[in-house]
Amino acid sequence: MIAGRLVCYGTSKFLKENYNPGYMLHLTVMSKCNSASRLKHFLCNRFTGVSFVREFNEQLTFFVQPQAITQLTSALFSTIGQEELKTCCVTSFGFTVTSLEEIFLKLGKSVGLPVNLVSSDMLNSLRNNYF
């Protein structure tokens, strides 16, 4: 429910398949290296289906559509990709499956609900107390 309206319902698998299929790519960069814009350009312009999500401290997050995952992983593990990551001061990277929390935040944005209405601390408190 968002703002008193039912927006979606179903199992977690159903919601992930229908509302936000894909992966999140998390990259950690060295704090003294100012290469975030080069990294964004490398990933978003070179690979169709990769979009920038957020930058927080030394971590950049990108959304990767399912059809782009094979090409992207092949490129990242290639010699050229490894050199580009080294040039951009990437210290580590990893992929995760899109979480239900990210899907709900995306749905909240799509209907104009302020994302900060419920803080992550409040979500964690609810999660710890009830699950």
* Ordered domains of the chain (ranges, CATH): 12-130 (3.30.70.250)
Q: What is the DSSP letter of 98?
A: P
pTM of the model as a whole? 0.67
E strands, 1-131, are: 23-29, 50-56, 59-64, 90-97
Question: How high is the pLDDT of residue 118?
Answer: 52
Structure token digits, residue 54: 């957020």
Q: Name the pLDDT band for 126 (thresholds 50, 70, 90).
A: low
Residue 116 CB neighbour total at 10 angstroms: 7
Q: Give percent above pLDDT 90 in the chain.
A: 43
pLDDT tens, position by position, 6-52:
767 778 778 777 776 789 999 999 988 888 888 999 999 999 999 99
What is the per-residue pLDDT for 121? 62
Is it the case that residue 74 has pLDDT exceeding 90?
yes
Q: N- to C-terminal Cα distance for the chain?
A: 19
